[in-house]
Every structure is written in C-alpha cells, then in structure tokens.
Amino acid sequence: MKKIVFLATYLRSGSTWLRFLLTNLLYKEVETSREIDQFIPEIPMLEEIFKPLPTDRDLIVKTHLPLSRALISGRPVVGAIYLVRNPFDVTVSLANFYLRGTQGIESKGEEEIEKVRQYYLDHMLDWGAPHPCYRDGVGAWTNHVASWMGNDELKVPVLLIRYEDLLKDPESELKRICRSIELDIDADRIERAIKLSSWENMKRLEEHEIQHREEGIFYNKIVHQGVEKGFRFLYKGQASISKNVLVEEQVERGIRTFSPLLQWLNYSPPDI
C-alpha cells in the first residue's frame, strides 16, 4: 500500500481551493469539479471513516474529521497538512453553506432566511459548531484544531497552513506543502497552478456546472433549491468576511468559545 498524507480542515476553511491548487499542480488541469475527488479523494464524515481508498499510488486524502486512531488505523499515514481559517470567518461562511442546503429554502422570504442564518451563526458562536457538524462527527472547531495540532499520542507529523497566508502568498505556501511531502516542483508549475485555480476560474466553473446541471462539488440535486435561490458553494474567497456581519455581542460570544486558540493561531476577532 502506498503512502497517505491527509489534507485536514474544518468545514469552510479553504480545502476546495487547496484541492484545486494541488490537483492543478500535481496531476492535471482541472476541467470539472468531479475530477477533484478522483485525484484527491475525501473522507468527509464519520459514517465514511472506514471507506476503502485507492492503494495503487501515493495519496493526498481530504477530511473534515478530527484526528483519531480510527481514522488512521490500518492506513499508511505519513503526515498531514492542516488548513486552518479564522473561526469567525468560518462561522459566516458555514451559515451560507447550510442555507444553500436548507430544504424548502425556495419558499422562504428574506426575514425567514435571516432567522435560519442567525440560527447557524448562534450555534457556531455558542457551541463551537452547528448541529450538523456534531451529527457528522466533525465536532467543534476548537476540538478539531486541537486533535490535529496536539496529536502527541498518535505521532502524525502535521504541517500547519493558515488560509489567510495561502491567500496572501500562495506560491510560498505551496512550496512549504511540496517540501513537507517531499516533492520537488519547479516555480513555473506552481505559478501555473495558481493561475488555473484563481477565484475567477473557479467561479466560472461553478456557474457552468450549475447552468448545465453537472453534478460535482458545486451542484447536486440536494442543493438545487438553494442554488436556484442564489446560494453558491463558493462564497467570498477572502479573509475578514465576518467584519460588518457579526455584531458586538456575537463577537464576544465567539471569543469565549474560540479562545485560547485564537491567540495561539494569531487570529483576532473582527472589528466592530
């Protein structure tokens, strides 16, 4: 069996963009979002924790699960890349993500949609995760980060990548990733992968797949109603998206929930 490196992230932390970058860099130019799962398969939730993975090549495997003995048991895991994002921005993006999949969303007015949005925001800010994250085995943001970054017992080497640093300097962060998985990739290939994985190109692909009802990361029948209502998988693609969205009282609740990892990761709450 070949080697496995996990690409681990909490939901809405930039893993789709990083998978586009790595697929364009290491495998081929991405033409459809379905290809991403072919080259960088995923174990998204607890019920799939024991799913079989290809054994004919070295793998990068994306997961939203916290690190556990069950996740790595029987697998030749040699390391992990942990992509983290400011939890306040995760909170805002996650609410949009769950709105996109809300059944009956097409018949809801703006006031009802805002109530649903606040429901998901409140769960993240008070409990560290909306209830679907607990249901699917992802758990709270703080526990998720701690499982991967404090895994002394399981001894999995982890490279920490901040989403904000990847946005600011994707070339340097991709070079760090390549070094960590012992790949020698020239600068031209990295530059090309960054261009191919631009926000504009990804948005163009998303709208194409929605228009043509091509199932993949960006569109499927489950989220059809939300898509028709205007919600998209690709939300902002920026840092500091929680600014001017969360009010002071929400920020204070988030500080209580996300501390002390905020300081350890050099994150600040949004300015109000």
Decide if pLDDT at 107 tops 90.
no
Q: In what order do the strands lie in the sheet with 77-84?
A: 42-43, 59-63, 4-9, 77-84, 158-162
Domain range list for the chain: 4-264
Average pLDDT of span 206-229: 95
Mean pLDDT computed over every residue of the chain: 95
CATH superfamily placement of domain 4-264: P-loop containing nucleotide triphosphate hydrolases (3.40.50.300)
Question: What is each CA distance from 82 to 8, 67, 97, 175, in whole angstroms?
Answer: 5, 10, 21, 15
Instruction: Decide: 66 and 138 in contact? Cβ < 8 Å.
Output: yes
Instruction: Decide: 151 and 77 in contact? Cβ < 8 Å.
Output: no
pLDDT for 152 equals 87
**Tokens encoding 93:** 């993006």
Give the largest CA-CA distance in the chain: 53
Average pLDDT of span 136-162: 96
- Alpha-carbon span 81 to 63, nearest angstrom: 10
